[in-house]
Structure 1
Amino acid sequence: MSGVESCKTIGIWMSEKKSQKINWKELIHSCNNHGYNVVKMDLERPLEDQGQIDVFLHKLTDIIAAADQGDAKASAIINRVEQYLSNHPDISVIDPLDNVRILLNRYCYYSILQNEPSFHNQGIFTPTFAEFTTNNIELNAAIMRQRGVQFPVICKPTIAHGSKSAHEMVVIFNEKGLSVCRPPCVVQSFVNHNAVLHKVFLIGKRYHICKRPSLKNFHASEDLEPIFYSTGEVCKADSQSTLSILDPHDKADIRMTLNEEKIKHVIRVLRKEIGLLLAGFDIVLDNKTGNHAVIDINVYPSYDNFPNFFEHLLDSIDETVSRNKYNNGDSSLRLNGLINVASASKVCTAFE
């Protein structure tokens, strides 16, 4: 037991696909050890009829995204959930839906990162970006110039969750290549990073860093055609993608070293500005300057290789419940010391 009263209940909802990846036996065991029962919530039924819960643990990202895009069924579900949570303000929600919404829109959270003043003097940045809402190439090129976005760029859907297409991206090398962009989308200046991606997984004040393959170095060119790819194929640990193979002249470049103090600073900023318990972000190192670029943030990412995931999750839930109880519902996350749960150099096998 961890100081939490017995007989509390965690209500859980996640998609069937994500549910199948969960070791439910281990999760229930960990919950019981921390004094919690577990109930799988059914969003098709009235939530009030499913018993009292003390914690609502969810991954509603796809439903929230669909609701925000006008899907009537998804809107009805989210409205029911929000009304239920409004009627029961004592429930600890992991994570609050309004906080989750921030990370459903890449333009929104890139703007938060870009406007963070503490990044600039610490060698941390988010690459320049622009949002396209039209297919007009000339207008989009002008928007890019105005916002300082330079080729090559990565074109990504503005909506970061809700469908497989959210992870389908394009490398574009020149202005004529902008014809493949499908608005609403975001174009982000590509940072050469020697095909190494660092994924940071967060559970409250606990974090774990994994190194993954990534895109090789690219340069602007009037001759190259756009390259379509999926992050799930290129950036998984055992990827054999040719897009991750460095060109011979790049292999002599020194691979920059990840600075963990910079990682901690990014974590603190994200906690302050977005406030999620379960999140992750992607970092690449500029191969010329060594500066750390935050290129994406994720809600409730895959934690397949997060050491002792369920125990860290339950410890964080305990802390959240206690904080809400003794701070009159104040759910803001205070980080009194960040904890790296494993070596940052370990190459992980889990991917989203």
Structure 2
Amino acid sequence: MRSRVSNMVPRRKFIGCWFSAKKKKKVNLEKLRAIVESHGAILKEIDFSKTMKAQEPFDAIIHKMTDRMIEAMSGNKRAEKNIKDVENYLENHPNTVVVDPLPSIRKLLDRHETYKLIKGTKLCLNGTLHIPTFAYITSRNEADILEQMRANSVEFPFVCKKSVAHGSASHKHNTRTSTSYGNQKFAEFSQYQDMNRQMSIIFNKEGLKDVDPPCVAQTFINHGALLYKIYVIADKYHVVQRPSLRDFSKDSLKDHKTIFFNSHDISSGDSSRSKLTTPDEEDVQIAPPLETSAIDAMTKELHNELHMTMYGVDIIASIETGKQYIIDVNVFPGYDGVPDFLDTLMNHVMKKLEPQTNGISARKQNGSAKTALIKPLMKTRSNNNDTNCHEEPPLKKSSRNGVISAKNKQAR
């Protein structure tokens, strides 16, 4: 009798996780472990030297496997084996909650593909949001580059970004020739791991010699040196204002030398204003306020496209037209300036682990179904010292390091 009773006691949930060594520090793995344990669950780090089956059970998996996925796509056999093992495990365990599904993440590993996806969304097609014109560059030949620019309406100045959108290779300026890299977007990824992470701004034909294919050329939009980072966590989003590249006048384009920069030095949580992000006094222009109705629409639309829980979107607003542009989408970003994001994440995971009562499987809720995780969002504001949410009118000019939070309201 005792044995029958003991068998009815539900076991504790096991939450698997995998992050790179750098991401572990960023996430604060020990804090995540404590939060998981506070929910009565156990955090289990995934060990890629063993099979997933040897480490089971996994009731949920939280991860950022982008580096590993890119290595697999570049031909790294061990990484290929690791990712295939994870995919097989998830296929055989459809009720395991995954944050986030690998097929969804794979859509964001290449900037050109990401930009095409965004350009095709309803919010861009109907003019709610925009994306700067862009072109995929595969050649160092000036005539070829100019033709690609013309065909895709890319203008000077433009930002030159590596095709690999995540991991150590995504922000690098590579000095190798195009013949050694060829047209393989992920080739020789592991050989670039220790190089400086850089992008560039190219102002004129003279600067085309600095184009580093394969890359994406994205028209630069003057935006008042202000970047809005939209951090999505489950059914909430937060808007954090960050420094960004200063504006450039048309008169400066003709003779301006190429500028190389590290995007993490420009707009990361611990970056400060520099010469590159501080406008000249005579050129100071205030970026338009962010339209939260557009952000509400964006989070809903991107969920329909991506079925993801943890991602970030970088948005700028043109000082000339007021139009708002998406310039990047990031998998599981740093969430700098966002209070208690790990608590929000775990609350979401634990809710999805609750027994299903309406016949919808955990796998459907995790991304296979079209059901939106992100409901219409209420505009609210907070700062680092005040996490209480309260209703606010549309966002207005505020501190450039401010944090604006939004949480979901009941679906109509």
TM-score by length of structure 2 reads 0.78
State the match for 2:240 in structure 1. Answer: 210
| Displacement after TM superposition at 1:135 (Å) | 1.5
Q: 1:58 to 1:324 in 2, by over 3 A?
A: farther
Deviation at 1:321, TM superposition (A): 3.3
Alpha-carbon distance in 2 for matches of 1:82, 1:107: 25
> In the alignment, what sits opposite 1:62?
67
- The amino acid of 1:32's aligned partner reads E
Unpaired runs of 5+ residues, structure 1, are none
Aligned-residue sequence identity (percent) comes to: 33
Deviates more, 1:22-31 or 1:289-298: 22-31
| CA deviation after TM superposition for structure 1 residue 263, in Å | 1.2
What is the correspondence of 1:69-88 to structure 2 with a 5 Å cutoff? 69-88=74-93
Deviation at residue 324 of structure 1 after TM alignment: 7.3
**SS of match in other structure, 2:159:** strand
TM-aligned CA deviation for residue 55 of structure 1: 0.3
Give the superposition deviation at 1:305.
Answer: 2.5
Q: Is the 8 A contact 1:206 1:341 kept in 2?
A: no
Residue 63 of structure 1 deviates from its aligned partner by: 0.8
Deviation (angstroms), 1:102: 0.8
2:337 match: 305
Structure 2 match to 1:171:
201
* Counterpart in the other structure of 1:277: 309
Q: Residues 13 and 341 from structure 1, CA distance in 2 versus in 1: closer, same or farther, beyond 3 angstroms?
A: farther
How far apart in 2 are the matches of 1:114 and 1:21? 31
Q: Which residue of 1 aligns with 2:181?
A: none
Q: Indicate if the aligned counterparts of 1:307 and 1:341 stay in contact, CA closer than 8 A.
A: no
- Once the two structures are TM-superposed, the CA of residue 59 in structure 1 deviates from its matched residue by 0.7
Q: CA deviation at 1:342?
A: 4.5
Distance change (3 Å), C-alpha of 1:78 and 1:324 = farther
- The answer as to 2:287 corresponding to 1:248 is no
Answer with 190-199 or 299-308: which moved more. 299-308
Dislocated runs of 4+, deviation >6 Å: none
Separation in 2, partners of 1:74, 1:339? 41
Helix, strand or coil for the counterpart of 2:135? strand
For these two proteins, the number of residue pairs brought into alignment is: 344
Report the Cα distance in structure 2 between the residues aligned to 1:163 and 1:136, rounded to whole angstroms.
27
- The answer to whether 1:52 aligns with 2:57 is yes
Counterpart selection for 1:184 from 190, 200, 214:
214
Q: Are residues 1:141 and 2:180 paired?
A: no
Choose the corresponding residue for 1:33, options 31, 38, 42. 38
- Specify the alignment match of 2:376 in structure 1: 337
2:124 aligns to what? 119
1:165: how far off?
4.8
TM-score, with length taken from structure 1: 0.91
Q: Tell me which amino acid in the other structure corresponds to 2:211.
A: C
Higher-Rg member (1/2) = 2
Stretch of structure 1 that moved more, 70-79 or 162-171: 162-171
* CA–CA distance in structure 2, aligned partners of residues 46 and 272 of structure 1: 32
Whole-angstrom CA distance in 2 between matches of 1:156 and 1:212: 19
Measured in 2, the distance between the counterparts of 1:121 and 1:85 equals 37
Partner-residue secondary structure (3-state), 1:171: strand
Residue in 1 that maps onto 2:179: none
Which residue of structure 2 lines up, in the alignment, with residue 318 of structure 1?
Answer: 350
What's the offset of the Cα at 1:35?
Answer: 3.1
Q: How many Å separate the matches in 2 of 1:43 and 1:186?
A: 33
Separation in structure 2 between the aligned mates of residue 165 and residue 279 of structure 1, nearest angstrom: 16
Q: What's the secondary structure of 1:161's corresponding residue?
A: coil
Deviation, structure 1 residue 73: 2.1
- Structure 2: 5+ residue runs without aligned partners? 1-9, 172-196, 383-394, 404-412
**Do 1:152 and 1:219's aligned partners in 2 also have CA atoms closer than 8 Å?**
no
Residue 83 of structure 1, CA deviation: 1.7
1:207–1:341 CA contact under 8 A, matched in 2: no
Aligned partners of 2:144, 2:296: CA distance in 1, in Å?
39
AA aligned to 2:87 is E
Q: Which moved more, 1:23-32 or 1:130-139?
A: 23-32
